[in-house]
Chains A and B, each alone.
Chain A
Amino acid sequence: MKKVQGAVHFVANNKLSFERGPSPVELYPTPADQLGHHKKVQPQPTMEEILPKLETPAMKARIADLLSRYPEAQGALLEVLWLVQEALGWVPREGIRYAAKVCGCSPAHAFGVATFYTMYKHAPTGRFLLQFCRNICCEQKGASNIIAYTEKALNIKTGETTPDGLFTILQVECLGACGFGPVMLVNDDFATNAKDGKLTMIPGETLTPEHVDNILRWCYAREKEFKNEPVRDALGGSVAGHLGHPGAPGASAVAQIFDYAPPSPVLGLKAVSKETGVVLTWKGAPEFTRLVVEREEGGSWKEIGEPSVKDKEFTDPNGRSGMNYRMIATSGDRVAKPSKEEKAV
């Protein structure tokens, strides 16, 4: 058995990779085990090497936009890490440090976050990252066969990258397209087939070896078409209207103006005639500060009582069945419209 040497050699997609002896109980590689380069120490670029790619004007503008979306800068940490991954293709250590600096948290915190979530890549992958779902629905429909087929077709194992740098295979947990299972993600797109130069996922079509071939062919064609994979906006594109905030910058920490909505009227008023008189019940709201009960007398409304806002019912001793009641609530200094009229029964 090999000795465990030192510590963390390398963290790939969440996986502490240390040298250890064979364990008879690990049947599948976990998704985290994968991302290639098993037991290989990942060389890390320095801050100077990555800064030119991170500190572009476009990037700065997007980061500023992201930071303005959250009441505290740290909220943007996940999104900034996405941007780093978009710019560099993966998230190197210094990229994490950069994100931490931007978001005002400690590098260790950002490292914890970046390794907690599985979609941040801690090592470069091939141009086409093929992620196969192997969870219950897809497994049931034969995901492992598809994965085995793809591994054979590309002549690599899960977690490895083809020598030409085009493909990396990963097995992941549920991708959220179970009805189409087995499914895969080609970079950021769901695919069960490729038709007419497009990746498709349409009902009734699941991944089969032929479809995998189609998808691989699509990838090769794309490689010929574009020299580099066109960068897909990792955050789905900036939103017109969001940039610089349609509201005030930092709208996110602001409370709604309190009187935007009309004051609440009394709801659910019920009037029941009993021996003691007419008993009124209603639904209280926490914002009520004053309640007034009115009774209709000869076509006009007359105030007959003022129950406390905490009361659940009010009895009108002079009431009889057939009389009309309504209630008017006040919230602060705003008087609501009267409640629905209710005839005592």
Chain B
Amino acid sequence: MSRPQQVARPIVRSLQQSRSITVCPSRSIAARQFSTTANRKDEGTTVEQQPRASATQRLSDTLSGSHWTPEQLEKLTSHTMGSRRRRAAIATSSDIPFEQMPYQCFQEARKILNEDRQEKIAQIVAETEKIKHLEAADASTMRGGEPYKQKRLESLRKYVEELKILADINDPLVKRRFEDGMGDMNKPIYRYLADRKWRSMDYKITVQRINQFHIVPDVLPKFDPTMDVKLSFRGQPIAPGATLNSRVTEVAPTLKMQVFDAGTRLLSVVVLDADVPDLESDFFTRRCHYLATNIPWDPTKKQLPLRQIGTPTSQTGGDLAVPWLPPFAQKGSPYHRLAVFVLEHNANEKIDVTKLTERYDGSGRELFSLKGLRDKFKLKVAGFSIFRTEWDENTAAVMERHGILGADVEFKQQHFKSLKGPRKARGWEAKRQKPKYRSLWKYTKRLA
């Protein structure tokens, strides 16, 4: 039997079956024939019913508005793309929802998972009861007093959060929705999955950039990122640490940010150049290229276009303290590290923007200290991303457009004088310069 036939066999068989048998019109026909297992009635907190439609339609419906681009969406839903196995599956399983996939093992496994879930939910209920009971109890009756009570409550709440994740972690629907980018970030399970995914690779890359570009001793003495920050210039996502053309970086980037803990918080965004050459002191200093503050943020939010902050049409909110200054590097200077930091406010307290503006705007941009900002306004550094800039063919034009001086300067390597003394002239001519060889001077003295 050929491969596609093998693949399509169960589907074909089920379709043949469906023609001969008619049972239970109230339930979906496809689900009945494929297995003896019952439909999962309780979809739980994280499961919604999906309307019947053609497979392609349904796929495009579920995926549209998520993180797929239109091209990717088209590729995913088209009949012509993919393996013959996939195409056969898409073509013949038009009205079977994912949770009713006609595979007995799948359905049996779902049953087991559902049992486990019920168990976990019961545990959550019990623990919540315990918490309520403890909250109502008088702390003076306990041996440890109030601190003990608070500690106990805290650990119980932590356990409940853990259970919430454990209840849904094995659900194939949850997994599917997360992978399609449709997960509701208000729910702990999706936040947990997102965090796990981030830590599996992107976090590691970020940490590597922090170390290899010496962000840690140069800008901050210690730093461990807790949120995902990705950069994109002019709609193009960039790899952390990429060297970008100055024309690309002329406009402020868009940050794609994801936080993994619940609740709304206020954020500040700082972009700084960590390699500004200062020839007078012969040291590298730092310059602030952008500073925005009081940006409300929660796990459901995704994109933050920096150029929109402070404008009346801004969707995201927040105040602009220091507007975007295009990054530039004078000719001959080594690459400049442009570090993007996202800082979390302490206890959701707003920062006075005017204070920030008068402190850091204008001449205050130079000799910028992130540590100073952090300590003065009690911020916590949470997210990080980086790009680099070098002198290129567009830098002069960009600097001119934005009124930045210094495009006419070129840096050259400092020359050090040799430590050795001047060397005595050697060779045939040098030897015959003496008066002893006066007769040869006509050959030795006229040399250029």
B is bound to A: no
Residues in A lying within 8 Å of B, measured CB to CB: none
